[in-house]
Structure 1
């Protein structure tokens, strides 16, 4: 059905879809002082608008608004249409609390004396 629309209307609809994707996502990556909003994120990759960046490689920080989610090691990037599609080799999540060397359970372990 889109092939019957005028070219300028088709282009305006494409631009509106890009603006909606950009506004709807709080996810962004930070590469040094530069910040780039994500258009998509999946388990082994992410995508950015190709107009903002043409090539990306290396370690970047991933954020959801102000909250730091993790570090991504990006190994490949290719321009696909109006997106820069990046694949990452590893994703290291950022923990909210300190690491522990034991399993935390909600119920007390058998053999402990009750606290008085």
Structure 2
């Protein structure tokens, strides 16, 4: 069915459909990549990498930050792997989750009190 459809539509219409598909992915995703003060919308993400629109992103590599809206999710070491269908795909060499609290230098007891009540 897809091959039949491609034979019937012009290259311009197919290109427009592909651009609309990428725009829809960009709008649906809250993920974004930040590198040296620049922000790039992430079209999709999988376990070992992610994709960014090829026209918006240069061949990035090195240390980047991955955000979901305003939440800083990962600090990643990435390398560009391939360009396919208007998407630049990147693979994680390392993706370290960003901690929301400082690391403890002691063991917290399971039944430790959450807060202390002061009596005046």
Q: Give the C-alpha shift of residue 9 in structure 1.
A: 2.5
TM-score by length of 2: 0.78
Q: Matches of residues 1-116 of structure 1 in structure 2 within 5 Å?
A: 1-3=4-6, 4-100=8-104, 101-102=106-107, 105=110, 108=111
Q: Give the C-alpha shift of residue 90 in structure 1.
A: 0.7
CA distance, structure 1, for counterparts of residue 87 and residue 109 of structure 2: 43
- Where in structure 1 do 4 or more consecutive aligned residues deviate above 4 Å? none
Q: Pairwise CA RMSD of aligned residues? A: 2.0
Unaligned runs of 5+ in 2: none
Unaligned runs of 5+ in 1: 110-114
Cα separation, partners in 2 of 1:61 and 1:104, compared to 1, 3 Å: farther
Q: Give the C-alpha shift of residue 103 in structure 1.
A: 5.6
Measured against aligned partners, the alpha-carbon deviations of 1:10-58 in whole angstroms (never above 9, x if no partner) come to 2221111111001011101100111001011111111111101231110
Aligned residues: 108
